[in-house]
């Protein structure tokens, strides 16, 4: 049985990174897709762990080679998801989390309608602004751009299967984990295991 492809989106500063880290610590059989980006590496980030950091020319070459299942320009930089990583993880039977923006989410939804979409909603614009400002990772201009983009991004929640309001990390992590576990229990995802069990229920065994 193939694993589930789980899309997680939120506006920048919505806290999806923190929630995903927490979920990866407590859930098993789940991988994380490390995206490619042309954005500058931030202090504390690692190449290959947070992103594969590449130049625009390298990114264009990857597009040419059809290495991406989706890519998009987000807040002035390019970001893309590797097809290989996704396929490898799903083939192992593991779920895979794609932490991508709302445009990427839409592309994946079109290509893989069976994917599961989860939107992480900040509790308010003010909280989002505070989180982004406190994080202090962006220039003044880029922070303003991210906040401006958040106004349309939050309205995209309607296209997702689930919404987690991220007002409290521990509860929101529980919510996220519950969704991932419940998705694995859907009837249609358990057909192989169930047919094996059904085969053991046989009138001829009853004396």
Interface characters, 83-122, with ligand 5GP (x: CB under 6 A): ----------------xxx-xx------------------
In the bound state with ligand 5GP, the residue whose beta carbon lies nearer, of 4 and 81, is 81
Cβ-contact 132, 150 below 8 angstroms = no
To ligand 5GP, the closest distance from the beta carbon of 206 in angstroms equals 55
Q: Give CA–CA dist 21/8, Å, rounded.
A: 12
CA distances from 174 to 8, 11, 24, 169 (A): 15, 20, 12, 9
* Helix (H) or strand (E) run with residue 176 in it: helix 169-184
In the bound state with ligand 5GP, the residue whose beta carbon lies nearer, of 43 and 185, is 43
Quickly count helices (H) and strands (E) in the chain.
Answer: 8, 9
For residue 100, give the nearest of 124, 69, 66 by alpha carbon: 69
To ligand 5GP, the closest distance from the beta carbon of 146 in angstroms equals 8
In the bound state with ligand 5GP, the residue whose beta carbon lies nearer, of 108 and 179, is 108
Cβ-contact 82, 33 below 8 angstroms = yes
Q: Which residues, 65 to 84, sit near ligand 5GP by CB under 6 A? A: 70, 72, 74-75, 79-81
Binding site for ligand 5GP (CB under 6 A): 12, 35, 39, 70, 72, 74-75, 79-81, 99-101, 103-104
């Amino acid at each position: 049985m193939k694993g589930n492809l789980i899309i997680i989106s939120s506006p920048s500063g919505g806290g999806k990174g923190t929630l995903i880290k927490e979920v990866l610590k407590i859930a098993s059989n789940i991988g994380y897709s490390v995206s490619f980006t042309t954005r500058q590496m931030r202090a504390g980030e690692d190449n290959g762990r947070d992103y594969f950091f590449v130049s625009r020319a390298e990114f264009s070459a990857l597009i040419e080679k059809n290495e991406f299942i989706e890519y998009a320009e987000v807040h002035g930089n390019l970001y893309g998801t590797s097809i290989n990583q996704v396929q490898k993880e799903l083939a192992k039977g593991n779920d895979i989390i794609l932490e991508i923006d709302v445009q990427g989410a839409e592309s994946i939804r079109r290509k893989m309608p069976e994917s599961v979409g989860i939107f992480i909603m900040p509790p308010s614009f003010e909280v989002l602004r505070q989180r982004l400002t406190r994080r202090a990772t962006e220039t003044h201009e880029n922070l303003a751009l991210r906040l401006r983009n958040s106004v349309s991004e939050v309205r995209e929640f309607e296209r997702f299967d689930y919404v987690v309001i991220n007002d409290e990390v521990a509860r929101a992590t529980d919510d996220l984990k519950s969704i991932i576990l419940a998705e694995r229990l859907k009837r249609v995802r358990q057909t192989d295991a169930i047919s094996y069990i059904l085969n053991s229920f046989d009138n001829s065994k009853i004396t």
